[in-house]
Amino acid sequence: MKELLTTLSTKLKNREISSVELTNEYIKAIEAENEKINAYVHTTFDYAIECAKRADDMLKAGDASPLCGIPMALKDNICSDGHLTTCCSKILDGFRPYYDSTVWTKLKREGAVLLGKNNMDEFAMGSTSESSCYGAPKNPRNTAHVTGGSSGGGAAAVAANMAAYTLGSDTGGSIRQPASYCGVVGLKPTYGAVSRYGLIAYGSSLDQIGPITNSVRDASLVFDAIKGVDINDQTSVDHEYGNITSQLTGDIKGLKIGVAEEYFEGIDKETKESVERALAFYEANGAELVSVKLPILKDSLPVYYIIACAEASSNLGRYDGIRYGYRAGDYTDIDDMIYKTRSEGFGKEVQHRIILGTYVLSSGYYDAYYKKACLLRNDIIRKFDEVFDVCDVLIAPNAPTTAPTLGYSSKSAVEMYMSDICTVPVNIAGLPGISIPCGKDKDGMPIGMQILGRKFAEKTILNTAYFYELNNKNVIGEYEGGVNL
Amino acid sequence: MALSKEDFNKLAVLSRLRFSDEEAEKFRNEMDDIIAFADTINNAVSGGTDDIKNTSIDAVGFRELREDEVRESLPNEKILSNVEGHKGFFNVRRCVG
């Protein structure tokens, strides 16, 4: 895997290329590839050139950060002042936020260049990005396949060299799973590690912003830039990480890797074998494999869907057609306007999750579903704590299969939910996880594994991933297209 | 447990959503599967017996709340920038007599 950000940063600092020139290369690549991949739903090319000019000034001044001048993109649910941000939903048609998200404020300060907004499942609800009102993005490794979701456009943009890195959001696997399907790296940080100010909310006790990149070191560089406490996000945490990238060594001697057999149940044979080979590789190089039990994993999926839908039904109550976005054209009174706006503006999957969330919160069912799910959440948190008493990281598959072909979301809701089985548990527990490529299936589609850690153990999981990356180059192979670097 | 037509209609009102009869019937049937899936938490491996109040603390880890001090706000013009043809307010059709 290429350490793209370091390479680009060196070229920019050595003045081999200017940020404006580099940005123009990316713009050309997007113009050439986007019709095929559909990774971008809104582009901000004029603004990108403005950002690039500013970055070139910073580079000339000689105190530029490693991300200065490098073109990137945000998921379509992360706000930037004045730029269309629509959650790929008709209900936010034409919405231009009037403030910057904290992550974009931080990156802008470092001289980042914003190319646009990436395709996603509507309101981040889905596992294939097919519920986007702009149509599904296509997997660059094979365009007959889905990118995964919900940050599918961001993963596709990185895989197809249409952005040097992107930011996604992960509520139940929405960074890690598309990264895995597209053969790139996706980091879901600890809950509270990165401010969500300016992230359009889905499940507020689960949502977390994180980077999608070409390499582990790149993910670390971006995480270093966006992490930190923020007065505008009461759930953000003041944790002293230091600079993680400078601490990556790839040394895993004595590392204890937990292996929970429950994570491997119902997993496709090729995926299972690929992750097992990676585990053997770690063991052969000085790590110790520790067998752990996590029977509670099977409860995670219903717990996740109950909590996520409950929070979504509340969060999405704000869309009434009055303050922003879409408003129905023909109505008799204010109630009729709100009903029509919501019924016409939200897609079917979103409407279904609002109804489900309303159901589990309604009088008579609250105790049986929402309260019970919250109580079980405590147990899931504790079980993970116990596991991390005996190991440093857990390694598991990212998804039961590789990327399915387009049209997968026409399956039943419960079948769709099942595909999230590997990723949701850490969101429930607020833990960090990283997805990295570890192989390919017989059709050449990428297989990913996830490395999970205790709260605020980003350095440990990144270093564990970094070891694998250093010793397993070109697991997926180069994409023929996009910016030629 | 199957969801009655009446209950489904109540949920739709609470959610401020309207469904055609055909859509409602299709989704109500799908909801039965989803509810059966949600019901599996009642056979959970673990009991989940702790006080619910602990949940947000464990999972979310709220810091101490900040001081309740007035901070600079966004200007009205910016906040209204998504409302076409506004006259300094969010516009809705008259809803009181």
What tokens does A55 get? 């970055």
Q: Mutate which of B8, B58, B64, B96 to disrupt the A interface (most A C-beta within 10 Å)?
A: B58
pLDDT at B91 over 90: no
Q: How far apart are CA A42 and CA A65, in angstroms?
A: 27
Residue B73 resides in a domain:
no
Burial class, A429, CB count within 10 angstroms (exposed 0-12 / middle 13-18 / buried 19+): buried
Which domain, by its residues, includes A6? 1-485
Is B49 in contact with A375 (Cβ distance < 8 A)?
Answer: yes
A238/B55 Cβ within 8 A: no
Query: What residues of A are in contact with residue B77 (Cβ under 8 Å)?
Result: none
Residues of A56-68 as b/e, b for ≥16 C-beta within 10 angstroms? bebbeeeebbbbb
The residues that bridge with A43 in the sheet, in sequence order, are: A116
In angstroms, the separation between the Cα of residue B39 and the nearest Cα of chain A is 8
**A205/B48 Cβ within 8 A:** no
B1 to chain A: closest CA residue? A365
Cβ distance A357 to A304 under 8 Å? no
> Per-residue confidence at B66, pLDDT binned at 50, 70, 90?
confident
The SS3 assignment for A59 reads: helix
Q: Does A412 touch chain B (CB under 8 A)?
A: yes
Alpha-carbon distance of A294 to A381, in angstroms, equals 11
Q: How many structural domains does chain A have?
A: 1
Instruction: List the alpha helices (DSSP H) in A144-195.
Output: 152-159, 176-182
Q: Specify the DSSP class assigned to residue B2.
A: P
Whether A150 is a known active-site residue: answer yes
What is the pLDDT confidence band of residue A478, given thresholds at 50, 70 and 90?
Answer: confident
Interface contacts (A, B; CB < 8 Å):
169
Q: Using one digit for the tens of pLDDT, what is the confidence trace for A328-363?
A: 999 999 999 999 999 999 999 999 999 999 999 998
Write out the two tokens for A138.
């296509």
Q: Which segment of A130-134, A153-157, A376-380 scores lowest on mean pLDDT? A: A376-380
Q: Residue A379: CA atoms inside 13 Å, Cβ hemisphere, count?
A: 21
Mutate to test the interface with B, among A376, A412, A416 (most CBs of B within 10 A): A376
A 256-285 near B (Cβ less than 8 A): none
The DSSP string of A46-108 is HHHHHHHHHHHHHHHHT---TTTT-EEEEETTB--TTS---TT-GGGTT---SS--HHHHHHH
- Point out the residue among A229, A322, A359 whose CB comes nearest to the CB of B90: A322
Residue A125 has pLDDT above 80, yes or no: yes
Q: How far is B96 from chain A (nearest CA, A)?
A: 10
Task: Tell me the nearest-neighbour CA distance from B50 into chain A, angstroms.
Answer: 6
A174 is catalytic: yes
Residue A369 to residue B38, Cβ atoms within 8 A: yes
Is B25 contained in some domain? yes
pTM: 0.96
Q: Are A70 and A158 in contact (CB under 8 A)?
A: no
Instruction: Label residue B3 by pLDDT band (50, 70, 90).
Output: confident
Q: What pLDDT score was predicted for residue B46? A: 63
Minimal C-alpha gap between A89 and chain B (Å): 16
Give the ipTM of the model, two decimals please: 0.90
Residue B59 inside a domain? The answer is no
Q: Does A314 contact chain B (CB < 8 Å)?
A: no
Which amino acid, B29? N
Residues in chain A with CB shorter than 8 Å from the CB of B97 are none
Distance from the Cα of A108 to chain B's closest Cα (Å) equals 20
A430 touches chain B (CB under 8 A): yes
Whole-Å CA distances, B13 to A4, A91, A217, A225: 51, 18, 49, 44
Which secondary structure element, helix H or strand E, spans residue A32, and what is its range? helix A19-37
Q: Where are the beta strands (DSSP E) in A368-429?
A: 393-397
Mean pLDDT, to the nearest integer, of A203-218? 97
Q: Does A232 touch chain B (CB under 8 A)?
A: no
Rounded to the nearest angstrom, the minimum Cα separation between B74 and chain A is 8
Alpha-carbon distance B68 to nearest alpha carbon in chain A (angstroms)? 12
Q: Could you tell me the CA-to-CA distances from B63 to A59, A103, A237, A439, B71 in Å, in that order?
A: 37, 20, 7, 41, 19
Q: Which of A75, A90, A188, A459 is catalytic?
A: A75
Token representation of residue A260: 């929970």
- Spatial distance between the Cα atoms of A118 and A37, rounded to a whole number of angstroms: 11
Considering only the beta carbons, identify the residue of A205, A306, A359 that sits closest to B60: A205
- B11: domain range? 1-44
For residue A300, indicate whether it is catalytic. Answer: no
Cα angle: A50, vertex A52, A57; to 5 degrees: 100
Partner-chain residue, chosen from A237, A299, A324, that has the shortest CB–CB distance to B45: A299
Concatenating the DSSP letter of every residue in A317-373 gives: GG-SSSSSS---S--SSHHHHHHHHHHHHS-HHHHHHHHHHHHHHSTTTTIIIIIHH
> In the predicted model, is pLDDT for residue B51 greater than 60?
no
Query: A288-292 and A433-440: which strand pairing?
Result: unpaired
Give yes or no for residue A99 having a pLDDT over 80.
yes
- Would the CB atoms of B58 and A378 count as touching at under 8 Å? yes
Question: What confidence tens digit (pLDDT) does each residue in A262-317 have?
Answer: 999 999 999 999 999 999 999 999 999 999 999 999 899 999 999 999 999 999 99
Whose tokens are 């296509």? That residue is A138
Contact predicate A302/A373, CB 8 Å: yes
Instruction: State how far the Cα of A131 lies from the Cα of A129, in Å rounded to an integer.
Output: 6
Q: Which residue of B has its CA nearest to A316?
A: B15
Give the pLDDT confidence score for residue A480 in this predicted structure. 84
Residue closest to A212 by CA, chosen among A144, A259, A146, A165: A165
Q: Is the pLDDT of residue A369 over 80?
A: yes
B3, B11, B44 ranked by CB distance to A376: nearest: B44
Residue in A with minimal Cα distance to B97: A333
Output the pLDDT for position A343.
98
Whether residue B56 is predicted with pLDDT greater than 80 in this model: the reply is: no
Q: State yes or no: pLDDT of B2 exceeds 80.
A: no
Interface test with A, best of B15, B27, B30 (most A CBs within 10 A): B15
Q: What is the DSSP string of A192-220?
A: TSB--TTBPPSSTTT--EEEEESSHHHHH
Domain count, chain B: 1
Flag if B59 and A373 touch (Cβ within 8 Å).
no
CA atoms of A73 and B79, how far apart (whole Å): 24
How far is residue B15 from each of residues A12, A91, A248, A412, measured CA to CA in Å? 51, 15, 48, 22
Asked if A200 is an interface residue toward chain B (Cβ–Cβ < 8 A), one would say no
Alpha-carbon distance A51 to A376, whole Å? 46
Q: Hey, how many other C-beta atoms are within 10 angstroms of the C-beta on A306?
A: 27
Instruction: Compute the distance between CA of residue A65 and CA of residue A54 in angstroms, rounded to an integer.
Output: 13
Residues A49 and A319: their CA atoms lie apart, in Å, by 33
Does residue A175 contact residue A414 with C-beta atoms inside 8 Å? Answer: no
- Sort out which chain A residues have CB atoms less than 8 A from B11's CB and list them: 355, 358-359, 362
What does the pLDDT look like over A34-47, one tens digit per residue? 999 999 999 999 99
Please count the other Cβ atoms lying within 10 Å of the Cβ belonging to residue A389.
Answer: 9
Nearest CA in chain B to A430: B59
Q: Hey, are the CB atoms on A414 and B34 less than 8 Å from each other?
A: yes
Q: How far from A262 is each of A86, A231, A272, A415, A422, CA to CA, in Å?
A: 38, 39, 12, 19, 10
CATH number of the domain that A424 lies in?
3.90.1300.10
Within 13 Å of residue A209, how many CA atoms lie on the same side as its CB? 30
Residue A114: name the closest of A173, A58, A67 by CA.
A67
Does residue B60 surpass a pLDDT of 80? no
Cα separation, A304 vs A374, whole angstroms: 9
Backbone φ and ψ of B85, nearest 5°: 60, 30
A338 touches B: beta carbon within 8 Å: yes
Nearest residue to A309 via CA among A268, A270, A358: A358
The Cα–Cα gap between A392 and A361 comes to 37
Residue B13's CATH number: 1.10.20.60
